[in-house]
Amino acid sequence: MFLFIVFALIAVVAALGVILSRKPVYSALFLLLNFATLAAMYILLQAQFLAAVQIIVYAGAIVVLFLFVVMLIGGGELGAGDRETSRQVNRETSRQGDKAAPASGDAASPRLRVPLGWPRVTALVLAMLLLAGLGYGLVAGQLHAGQGTAAAFGQGSVEAIGAALYTDYLLPFEMTSVLLLVGVVGAVVLAKNAG
């Protein structure tokens, strides 16, 4: 129990380092530390498979991808010149919005009137479905809470985790896959519009 608390505190400090660090490379390294401490916590919970997946997938592939992107786009610290450029872009965007407001017929509040197109409606529907799936997962988790985590997952075996994912937790698992698909489609649409 003592080691679990130590690893949990290290994970919290590393998570704070991710969001508070001014340099993206340091944020990625703090993220790597966070993933490593989570893997150690999985080992303490007798879930060796999850610990291995945590190290291989997250600490290995995802952090390397983040570092690659940061190095590709030049991940320096946000300096005074960048801040001034950001302010100029914000001012220009505001001016363009003010010019477009009389054409829309609502000069008093141009930013309050946002038309609901199909992407926003689709995003709203998918968000509601995701919340419903998460709510179902919480209720299903409460119904099975008396079984204990180690007994329910068979000490972290691959077979027991797969059986639980495709029986008791099928809806939250599928909702997660839909959420990942929406993220991929959104990234493709944004990349296509930018190009």
Summarize pLDDT for 16-48 with one digit per residue, the tens.
Answer: 999 998 888 888 889 999 999 999 999 998 888
pLDDT digits (tens, 9 = 90+) for 141-177: 665 555 555 554 455 677 888 888 888 888 888 888 8
Dihedral sign from CA coordinates of 56, 57, 58, 61: positive
Closest CA to 40 of 91, 82, 4: 4
CB 59 within 8 A of CB 32: yes
- Tokens standing for residue 124: 């709203």
Q: Assess contact for 51 and 89: CB atoms under 8 A.
A: no
> What average pLDDT does range 104-131 have in this prediction?
64
88 against 16, higher pLDDT: 16
Predicted confidence at residue 93, as pLDDT, reads 57
For the beta carbon of residue 169, count every other beta carbon within 10 angstroms: 19
**Fold exhibited by the domain 1-77:** Four Helix Bundle (Hemerythrin (Met), subunit A) (1.20.120)
Higher model confidence: residue 74 or residue 9?
9
Report pLDDT for 50: 85
- Place 96 in a pLDDT band, splitting at 50, 70 and 90: low
Query: Mind listing the pLDDT tens digit for each residue in 123-133?
Result: 778 778 877 87
Q: Domain locations in the chain?
A: 1-77, 116-195
In this structure, the dihedral spanned by the alpha carbons of residues 38, 32, 138 and 152, taken in order and rounded to 10 degrees, is: -40
| Local confidence band at 8 (pLDDT 50, 70, 90 cut-offs) | very high
pLDDT for the residue numbered 80: 47
Q: What is d(CA 87, CA 25) in angstroms, rounded to the nearest whole number? A: 24
Indicate the burial class of 26 (C-beta count within 10 angstroms; 0-12, 13-18, 19 or more). Answer: middle
Question: Which residue matches tokens 């409460």?
Answer: 142
DSSP string, 66-103: HHHHHHHHT-----HHHHHHHHHHHHHHHHHHHHHHHH
User: What is the predicted pLDDT for the residue at 182?
Assistant: 85
Which pLDDT band, with edges at 50, 70 and 90, does 91 fall under? low
What pTM value is reported for the model?
Answer: 0.50
Q: Name which residue leads in pLDDT, 189 or 41.
A: 41
pLDDT for 139 equals 75
Reading the block at residue 156, the tokens are 């972290």
